[in-house]
Structure 1
Amino acid sequence: MLTAVLAVLILVPAGILFIRVWQQNEDDRSDTKLEQQGVEYLAGLSPLISALAEAQSAAIQGSAEAPASLTAAVTRMGAIDQRLGDTLSTRERWTSLRDTIGRLPAVKGEKTQIFQAHVEVSALALALARAAAENSTLSRDPDTDLAHLQQALAVDLMDTVIQVSRMGDLSLLVAGISGSATEKAQAQAVLLPQFGAAVNQVNADVAGLTDNLQAAVDDTTSVTLSGSLVSTVDAFRRGVESFVRGASPATTLTGSGQPQPAAMATAQSQLQTSLASLSGVLVREMGGLLDARSDRLDTRRLEAIVVAAALVLLVLAVILLATVGRRRRAADSADDEALSALPDAPDPFARSSLEPPYGAEVGSNRRERSGAVR
């Protein structure tokens, strides 16, 4: 009875602790898997953002067809959302974005109207990126390095690409304003504030990107993050600076300068290349950190199973030993009782009660036999 009570007192608290540890581990594993899916989703969105920027510039310059890069990016992103959209709750946003992209070639009219249509599409794409980061819990990751890396990828980097492209196209629109002085003034009153806002946003995004990447490097367990970012970040920033110079913001803001389309085209090509490299580094580093976390959780899970199994075996061993000891004591007690129930063994040195005492006369029959012998 005492053994059973002790077993219960050991197993019940240990079982409750095991369940809590196991449940926490499973929750962490689920969160990690969800974040891995979020990284995969953002990896597909990065080339789509770049393709949307390219399509916007092509449309402003008079191209009626969407570039091949946009078609390929939409197809690839559709396949990703087909697998992950329900889990990340992005299906509705992606469907809206895909349909809006599909209607872009049908947008006709003034260049400003075409530009605004692309602005709406890029806004939907950026909102989708933020939703993927939020719904996958990447934006709430407890590790500092991962939190800053996802901010750099899902917000700063993608927004920089969109705003740089928007700034360049606005500079071309401002430079292309025609008509009477009144019409030019009216157009400039609409476009110049947008251009100035885009320039300011580019500077803010690049600063935010730099700060987040530096914060991630300062507090990371990755041994490759710092080295991987140095060249890619520098190349990206040089591309942004070249594009800004090509747009000539100092003169375009006054309406008197002319942008440099050739310089912007070169800078945009460089920017897209560096964007692919930088986003690839961020995706790879985030994936590596999440894989390492998943491995740690798997190890912790195995350790919990081993400890629980060892505890159960220990309790079973104690119960078994107690049972064997109890049975052995019961057997010994039964043997003692059996022995005590047996009659006492005769004393071989004790005189029989039928034998006459020494020196007593024998009976008549004895005498007769003795005489017969004689």
Structure 2
Amino acid sequence: MTAIKIAVIPGDGIGKEVMQEALKVLNCLQEQHSSLQIETTIFPWSSDYYVQHGCMMPNDALATLQTYDAILFGAIGDARVPDDVTVWELIMPIRKHFQQYVNFRPIKSLPGIASPLANGKEIDFVIFRENAEGEYSDSGGRLYQQQPQEMTIQNTIMTRIGIEKIVHAACDYAKQHGKTKITSATKSNAIIHSMKFWDEHTSKTVKQSSPALQLESIYIDALVAYFVERPQNFEVVVASNLFGDILSDLGSAIVGGLGLSPSANLNPEKDFPSMFEPVHGSAPDIAGKGIANPIAQIWSLALLLGHQGRPDLEQLIVKAISAVLQEGVVKTADIGGQATTAQMGDAICQEIINRTLTAGGV
């Protein structure tokens, strides 16, 4: 059986710490499941690398990454390097070059994690964020710097193909998982060119995808309020790059925090490797203390395995995470406990071992 090749980029801050636990879980899976063959290569591309070399990654980095099946990413960000440098010289080139136009983020209630917004009902929806164009486009510039007439232009770029691809992906997911409603984030009453264009092609694409799917378009300012007031009402949310970024962090917060939430930057056609990462940042305030929650990173690993054709192992990891949280003995500080990063990783591994033994192995 051909091994799955994973490029590992731990990055900065707590990224290195939570990545260690994800790799611990991966090693545990390989020990328990002989059918799983994984080859990992760790790349030191980070702010440390930038300080030493003057760049976030070498010139041939993308060519190197393209030889891998998937990328497991930690977190990026360091006070020594401007944020726009870390983002636009590492994350953005990977997303855009590998056409990872889907940013997929599950928003799901977990056992043992109380959400003040749940009202006794389970929260369970997903966000499809357009990930390759939109508001996060490197188009624009400044004129007359340091003069009274100084000005700047930042262009939003939306293409018909880009909109259709992200909406198709959302619709395909809905049909595969028995969902009937697509919610589109818009602001076409005020952003009359790009967002009206978004609305038009979102509507056409949903109609073409399936007559059984219902589309609701909600202005972004109202939508963030509805996320708080009635999060149980959503099934599949599709949004532009900026709107999706904001909504997905809000969604993570309403089910327990950024330390719990994974994400996937997907090239659905698998022409290029996809990248899987937690939604939290490098958290320099707690870096090195060994208290970061590794669940988001471990869950991101689960999404990676599912994307690589092992949904059984994806579900095993998610069930192990849920079981540890439900038991409530091991919790990191962000969810009301005192456990270390390593203790949470160990607890999830032990649960994986227990479940595998109970099932008789895979």
> Does the alignment reach a TM-score above 0.5?
no
Whose helix proportion is higher, 1 or 2? 1
Q: TM-score, normalised by structure 2?
A: 0.30
Q: TM-score, normalised by structure 1?
A: 0.29
Compare CA radii of gyration and give the structure with the larger one: 1
Whose strand proportion is higher, 1 or 2? 2
Greater relative contact order, per chain length (Cα 8 Å cut-off, separation 6+)? 2
